[in-house]
Structure 1
């Protein structure tokens, strides 16, 4: 019976694509939320049938961002560590 050596892994960290996507959507969400709260006038609301589109889109993007960050924290991507890697394993 052959025993397998366990594969050492580490977290992908900043190279996790979910964190990059969440950073971008978070920035857009903040900008849209601020625009919806502070810079929307009555004429723009009339064009959108009384709905503050910037505010709701910004809030939606912030919720999406929070879910992506939660997903990345709860289920991190693990990459195998090779013998020559100098970075310490977690």
Structure 2
């Protein structure tokens, strides 16, 4: 038994697939992964910097290296996430199918 689709049903299905494709492209954007990891690790290292003992600071020639590194990682992660927000990934055009080439 074959199902008959109207033109409207096909258009709705195509629109749904394009929306899912755009969502998947945004979800797996490498900037999200890198930015998120840098933010998480930056928070952890910054907390370690706030709780550093005097002996730890003396080992680093008087510089609270954990604090400064953590803040730098946090800033870099936030810049990646800001970049993602300002320049979102465009989904691939629907007529471009991977693996096919014009010969």
Is 1:10–1:81's contact at 8 Å kept on the other side of the alignment? Answer: no
Is 1:19–1:69's contact at 8 Å kept on the other side of the alignment? Answer: yes
- Structure scoring higher RCO (CA < 8 A, sep ≥ 6) equals 1
Structure number with higher helix proportion:
2
SS in 1 for 2:63: coil
Bigger-Rg structure (1/2): 2
Q: 2:42 aligns with which of 18, 25, 29?
A: 29
Structure number with higher strand proportion:
1
Could you say which residue in structure 1 is the equivalent of 2:31? 18
Q: Root-mean-square deviation (CA), in Å?
A: 1.9
Matches within 5 A, 1:1-90: 10=22, 12-38=25-51, 40-80=52-92, 82=94
Q: TM-score, normalised by structure 2?
A: 0.66
Give the distance between the partners of 2:92 and 2:59, measured in 1 at CA.
53
Question: Which sections of structure 2, spanning at least 5 residues, go unmatched?
Answer: 1-17, 96-103
Aligned residues: 75
Q: TM-score, normalised by structure 1?
A: 0.74
